[in-house]
Amino acid sequence: MNFEFPEAIRALATETRAFVTESVIPFEDDPRWGDHGPSDDLRRELNDLARRAGLFGPHIPRELGGLGLGHLDRAAVFEAAGYSLLGPVALHCAAPDEGNIHLLDQVANDDQKDRYLSPLAQGERSCFAMTEPDGAGSDPGMLRTTARPVGGDYVIDGRKWLITGARGAQFVIIMAKMQGGEADGRATMFLSPMDRPEIRIVRDMHTIDSSFAGGHCVVDFADLRLGADAVLGEVGKGFEYAQVRLAPARLTHCMRWLGAAARAHDIALRHAAKRKAFGTEIGRHEGVGFMLADNEIDMRSARLSLQEAAWRLDRGERGATVSSMAKVQCSEAIWRVVDNAVQVLGGIGISRETAVERIFREVRGFRIYDGPSEVHRWSLARKAMKRVAAEGQEDRR
């Protein structure tokens, strides 16, 4: 692995960081950024700024108007974008759209790409509906939303929740369990416009975070009839396609949140360099200085971990295990960095005098979504145990 980014990528990351600092951060006090994310008009205004700067869609294939960056190159640019929580929104590389673009590019047929991927790449929004209130979540095998074959079509019924970006999305990717037919009991992905009357947004969910356009919603599907052309990929392969989406999406979350953690650390570091207590700057006291040092260590190790995983994806590896490791390592390191930043700032750290308080609320959820740390550890331990069993070696003392 070459640890040196190409000059063009370093320049692009620098340009992105400058754009976020100069053009995006001033919008952080905009009243259009509410409890359920930035409004659609704010999002479109930010998108227009990114387009004019030549930074829109760093991950989007070039043939669709994006910059066409690979996974490793995204690490530098997405981290720079994440320096403001609105940065990924501006560049159109925020979840869930970024992951959906990758999934559709890999799995969708030409007609589906024309109907769904092309508008999404131009700045429309989407959502991904898998999580359920009493079913699929950490264990996707508990899917309760069903798809019944009926006369060549499929009828979908079920309730989803914590569906990020549902309000205002132009279309949805639905994960449902087949009920009947040759693929009975197996998961399948379906594409549907969100304006169908059989799709109802029940309510917005009030969550600790507020940086995702469209918020998080409860969504009902009642007798939603879709044709065979709505199947994404092949019937019964939904879980396989979920892995196509999840491994890269885990890493891009790490990249964006690492940028936010760097912002929190920078604010705390500047505070520690000027705030005095007990005769000197507080950063010179070991209690504070060690937290700052730990932040530097955590950010470096998180950055190396996610970049190595991204490098493996660029090599064509599935990356399930390394992305799982990186997700746990980065989500917990990012949390420690931001928590330390709050502590260093003291009273103002729990206020809205700086961006750190909001970043603190935003990054807490990352240890849960895309798989809680505990589930990833459980899965990694199972793989380790299988490896030992396959080797068939006796305990050697």
Residue 396 pLDDT more than 60? no
pLDDT tens for 302-358 read 999 999 999 999 999 999 999 999 999 999 999 999 999 999 999 999 999 999 999
Asked whether the beta carbons of 204 and 36 are under 8 A apart, the reply is yes
Tokens of 194: 């969100």
224: closest CA among 174, 156, 160, 178? 156
Q: Greater confidence, 2 or 355?
A: 355
Classify domain 7-94 at the CATH class level.
mainly alpha
Of 263, 279, 332, nearest in space to 301 by CA: 332
- Choosing among 3.40.630.40, 3.40.470.10, 2.40.110.10, 1.10.540.10, the CATH entry for 126-235 is 2.40.110.10
The reported pLDDT for the residue numbered 346 is 98
Q: Residue 203 CB: number of other CB atoms within 10 A?
A: 11
Q: Which residue has the tokens 């209690």?
A: 287
Residue 391 pLDDT: 85
Please, are residues 93 and 121 in contact by the beta-carbon 8 Å criterion? Answer: no
Give the span between the Cα atoms of 274 and 285, in whole angstroms. Answer: 13
Residue at token pair 């895309």? 370
Residue 151 token pair? 């006369």
Query: What SS3 class is residue 5?
Result: coil
C-alpha triplet 169, 57, 85: angle, nearest 5°: 70
Residues carrying CATH 2.40.110.10, the chain: 126-235
Where does CATH 1.10.540.10 sit in the chain? 7-94
The fold for domain 239-391 equals Butyryl-CoA Dehydrogenase, subunit A; domain 3 (1.20.140)
Instruction: Provide mean pLDDT across the span 26-30.
Output: 98
Q: Where in the chain are all domains bearing CATH 1.20.140.10?
A: 239-391
Q: Is the pLDDT of residue 237 over 90?
A: yes
Does this model's pTM top 0.85? My answer is yes
Confidence of residue 135 (pLDDT cuts 50, 70, 90): confident
pLDDT band at 137 (very low <50, low <70, confident <90, very high): confident
Q: Which residue is it, tokens 């380790």?
A: 384
| β 276-277/146-150 pair status | unpaired
Lowest mean pLDDT among 75-79, 137-141, 174-178: 137-141
User: Mean pLDDT over residues 269-289, rounded?
Assistant: 98
Amino acid letter, residue 157: D
Rounded to the nearest integer, the mean pLDDT of the chain is 96
pLDDT band at 140 (very low <50, low <70, confident <90, very high): confident
